[in-house]
Structure 1
Amino acid sequence: MTTPTTAYDFDILIVGASFAGAACAIAAAQRGLRVCVVERKHDPGEKLRTTGIIVKEAAEQTLLNQIPAAMTRRIEQVRLYAPSLKQVALAAPGYYFLTTDTPQVMRWLAEQLRLHGVDLRLDTTFNQCARSGEGWQVEGIGSTRYLVGADGARSRVAQRCGLGEVKQFLYGIEYEFPGARIIHADALHCFISKRYAPGYIGWIAQNPTGVQAGLALRHDPERARVPDIDGFLLRAGIAGGIPRHLKPGHTRAGLIPCSGPVVDMARDHAILTGDAAGIVSPVTAGGIHSAWEHGWAVGCAIASHVREGGPPPERVAIEAAPRFRAKRALRWAYDRLQFDWPFDLFLHSPPLRWAAERVYFHKCSG
Structure 2
Amino acid sequence: MHNGNYDVIVVGAGFAGLACAQAIARAGKRVCVIDRKRDLGERLHTTGILVQEAMADPLLVNLPARFRHPVPAVRLYAPGLESIELTAPGYRFHTTDTPALMRWLGEQAVRADVDLRLACAFREARATAEGWHLPGVGSCRYLVGADGARSKVAAYFGLGRVRDFLYGVEHEYDGAGLQRPDALHCFVSRRWAPGYIGWIAQTPRGVQAGLARRLRQGGEPPPDLAAFLAHVAPVVGLSPDRKPDSVRAGLIPCGGPVHPRMRHNVLLAGDAAGVVSPVTAGGIHSGLRHGADVGHALVRALDSGIGPQASAIRAIPAWRRKRALRWAFDHLQWDWPFDLLLKSPPLRRMAEQIYFHRRGQTSSAA
Scaled by the length of structure 1, what TM-score is found? 0.95
RMSD of aligned Cα (Å): 1.6
Counterpart amino acid of residue 153 in structure 2? V
Shift of 1:27: 0.3
Specify the code of the residue in structure 2 equivalent to 1:279. Answer: V
Contact 1:219 1:225 in 2 (8 A): no
Determine if the alignment matches structure 1 residue 227 to structure 2 residue 209.
no
- 1:99 corresponds to: 95
**2:334 is the alignment partner of 1:321:** no
Post-superposition Cα deviations, 1:312-342, rounded to whole Å, max 9, x if no partner, equal: 244434x532221211111111111101011
- Could you say if the C-alpha distance between residues 62 and 320 of structure 1 is closer, same or farther in structure 2, counting changes exceeding 3 Å? farther
Aligned pair partner of 1:355 in 347, 350, 353: 350
> Given the superposition, is the C-alpha separation of residues 184 and 310 from structure 1 closer, same or farther in structure 2, using an over 3 Å criterion?
farther
Structure-2 residue corresponding to 1:32: 28
CA contact (8 A) 1:273 1:291 kept: yes
Number of residue pairs aligned between Structure 1 and Structure 2: 358
User: For 2:143 and 2:297, how far apart are their aligned partners in 1?
Assistant: 13
Q: How far is 1:246 from its partner?
A: 1.8
**Aligned-partner SS, 1:54:** coil
**1:188 aligns to what SS in structure 2?**
strand
Mind listing any 5+ residue stretches in structure 1 that lack a counterpart?
Answer: 1-5
Specify the code of the residue in structure 2 equivalent to 1:293.
Answer: R
Task: Quote how far apart the aligned CAs of 1:238 are.
Answer: 2.6
In structure 2, distance between residues paired with 1:20 and 1:241: 35
Q: CA deviation at 1:99?
A: 0.3
> Deviation at 1:297?
0.4
Residue pair 2:57, 2:288 contacting (<8 A) in 1 also: no
Indicate conservation of the 8 Å contact 2:226/2:240, yes or no.
no
- Stretches of structure 2 lacking an aligned partner (at least 5 in a row): 360-366
Q: What's the TM-score once normalised by structure 2's chain length?
A: 0.95
Give the superposition deviation at 1:285.
0.7
- Aligned counterpart for 1:11 among listed residues 7, 18, 32: 7
Q: Which residue of 1 aligns with 2:338?
A: 343
Cα deviation, residue 141, structure 1:
1.2
- Distance in 2, matches of 1:295 and 1:320, equals 12
Question: Contact 2:4 / 2:137 at 8 angstroms: preserved in 1?
Answer: no
Q: Is the 8 A contact 2:16 2:270 kept in 1?
A: yes
Identity rate of aligned residues, in percent?
A: 54
C-alpha displacement of 1:229 = 0.6
Shift of 1:305: 1.1
Distance, in Å, in 2 between the alignment partners of 1:19 and 1:141 is 21
CA deviations on 1:276-296 (whole Å, 9 max, x unpaired) are 111111101111000000000
Which residue of structure 1 lines up, in the alignment, with residue 44 of structure 2? 48
Q: CA shift at 1:310, angstroms?
A: 6.2
Mapped to 2, the partners of 1:352 and 1:180 lie a distance apart of 32
Deviation at 1:132, TM superposition (A): 1.7
